[in-house]
């Protein structure tokens, strides 16, 4: 498992956390190496990988190495794992430590059926004793404070797990916790219950990161101000606008973020494409770009037609030509983001 990383020192520096250090969330299908590098250029302090199967990593399943592809400049990086068997989670962490990775996160919130069928992800919210056994196994393999846990409120409203679960994970040695304040059954429906973040934050001595419904930097700063969390993790907001991290820094400094602008968005897309061509996974990188570019221009007239045109593109040259046609016709004063 070679990644051109130096072995993580026995006592690595603490992960950057706090109001001035926004994180990029683990985004299955999106937070690959090119996208992480793009977000870092806009100011993401820490990035989390796509969700990686612990068992797949141990058995060297096809595709796992692609999810872990990284570079020295892609640091600090947190690897998010999922699984439901403590020995496999511990072995995955040990293998990753040997390869030079130093920070880990356990997914305890994904409600995708294929994950739930493995009793992993959000299913662990209904098996808290097993979750704590996994937590202890991962922490023993990683070292104190090097593992975080991304949580939801519970499987559903009838089975809340907070604050008890958070406090028990803290006692087990968790380095930080992330809360998306919805139940697993909600998925992404309804609204994130930010009042639950405000209730949990003062109960913890470890950092609490907020996730969920942070679509703009203004949403992130409002959450910091109203909920008392230690920091924020941008997910869907970053997917549609990687510059959300620069916007966050501007607002924290008392400046207005740069307004949406087609020229800047074109530069963003071209930079993403450049990174994808250099660091992406062959043809799959072309396919990912076909879905990424329309998200960045969803409010520009013709965005739907661009998506349709990109779906017909088979290589980078055709993708570039479709984008050139789109931007040559886009109104210069159109807003790039809604």
* Contact (CB, 8 A) for 107 and 26: yes
Residue 4 has a pLDDT of 46
Which of 51-55, 116-120, 303-307, 317-321 shows the lowest per-residue confidence on average (mean pLDDT)? Answer: 303-307
Q: pLDDT band at residue 190, thresholds of 50, 70 and 90?
A: confident
268 phi/psi in degrees, rounded to 5: -65, -45
Show the 3-state SS of the chain.
CCCCCCCCCCCCCCCCCCCCCCEECCCCCCCCHHHHHHHHHCCCCEEECCCEEHHHHHCCCCCHHHHCCCCCCCCCEEEEEECCCHHHHHHHHHHHHHHCCCEEEEEECCCCHHHHCCCCHHHHHHCHHHHHHHHHHHHHHHCCCCEEEEECCECCCCCECCCHHHHHHHHHCCCEEEECCCCCCCCCCCCCCHHHHHHHHHHCCCCEEECCCCCCHHHHHHHHHHHCCCEEEECHHHHHCCCHHHHHHHHHCCCCCCCCCHHHHHHHHHHHHHHHHHHCCCHHHHHHHHHHHHHHCCCCCCHHHHHHHHHCCCCHHHHHHHHHHHHHHCCCCCCCCC
Query: Does 8 qualify as catalytic in the annotation?
Result: no
Q: What is the mean pLDDT of the chain?
A: 91
Residue 164 has a pLDDT of 96
The residue annotated as part of the active site, out of 110, 227, 281, 313, is: 110
Residue 10 has a pLDDT of 54
- Region 14-32 average pLDDT: 95
Which of 12-21, 143-152, 239-248, 313-322 shows the lowest per-residue confidence on average (mean pLDDT)? Answer: 12-21
Residue 12 has a pLDDT of 61
Per residue in 139-186, pLDDT tens?
999 999 999 999 999 888 888 899 999 999 999 999 999 999 999 888
Residue 62 has a pLDDT of 86
Longest dimension (CA), the chain: 58
Does this model's pTM top 0.75? My answer is: yes
How many residues make up the chain in this entry?
338
Per residue in 59-97, pLDDT tens?
999 889 999 999 999 999 999 999 999 999 999 999 999
Q: pLDDT band at residue 329, thresholds of 50, 70 and 90?
A: confident
Burial class (CB in 10 A: 0-12, 13-18, 19+), 255: exposed
Fold for the domain defined by 23-252: TIM Barrel (3.20.20)
Per residue in 87-139, pLDDT tens?
999 999 999 999 999 999 999 999 888 999 999 999 999 999 999 999 999 99
Residue 158 has a pLDDT of 84
Nearest to 32 by CA among 44, 19, 43, 48: 48
Does residue 281 surpass a pLDDT of 90?
no
Contacts of residues 318-323 at CB distance under 8 Å and 24 or more positions apart, as own/partner, are: 319/273, 319/286, 319/289, 319/290, 319/293, 320/273, 323/266, 323/269, 323/270, 323/273, 323/293
Residue 333 has a pLDDT of 57
Residue 330 has a pLDDT of 72
């Amino acid at each position: 498992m070679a990644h051109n990383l130096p072995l993580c020192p026995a006592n690595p520096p603490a992960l950057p956390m706090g109001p001035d250090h926004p994180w990029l969330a683990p985004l299955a299908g999106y937070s690959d190496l090119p996208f992480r590098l793009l977000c870092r250029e806009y100011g993401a302090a820490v990035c989390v990988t796509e969700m990686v199967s612990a068992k797949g990593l141990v058995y060297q399943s096809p595709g796992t190495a692609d999810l872990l592809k990284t570079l020295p400049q892609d640091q600090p990086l947190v690897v998010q794992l999922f699984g439901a068997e403590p020995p496999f989670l511990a072995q995955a962490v040990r293998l990753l430590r040997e390869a030079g990775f130093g920070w880990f996160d356990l997914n305890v919130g994904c409600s995708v059926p294929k994950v739930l069928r493995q009793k992993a992800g959000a299913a662990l919210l209904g098996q808290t004793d097993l979750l704590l056994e996994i937590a202890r196994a991962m922490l023993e393999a990683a070292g104190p404070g090097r593992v975080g846990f991304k949580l939801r409120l519970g499987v559903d409203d009838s089975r809340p797990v907070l604050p008890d679960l958070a406090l028990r994970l803290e006692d087990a040695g968790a380095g930080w916790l992330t809360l998306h304040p919805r139940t697993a059954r909600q998925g992404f429906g309804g609204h994130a219950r930010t009042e639950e973040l405000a209730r949990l934050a003062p109960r913890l001595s470890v950092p609490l990161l907020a996730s969920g419904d942070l679509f703009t930097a203004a949403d992130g700063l409002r959450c910091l101000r109203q909920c008392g969390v230690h920091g924020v993790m941008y997910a869907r907001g970053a997917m549609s606008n990687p510059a959300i991290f620069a916007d966050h820094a501007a607002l924290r400094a008392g400046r207005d973020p740069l307004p949406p602008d087609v020229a800047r968005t074109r530069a963003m897309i071209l930079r993403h494409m450049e990174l994808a061509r250099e660091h992406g996974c062959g043809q799959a990188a072309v396919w990912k770009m076909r879905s990424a570019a329309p998200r960045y221009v969803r409010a520009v007239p013709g965005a739907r037609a661009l998506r349709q045109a990109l779906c017909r593109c088979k290589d980078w040259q055709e993708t570039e030509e479709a984008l050139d046609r789109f931007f040559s016709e886009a109104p210069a004063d159109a807003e790039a983001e809604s």
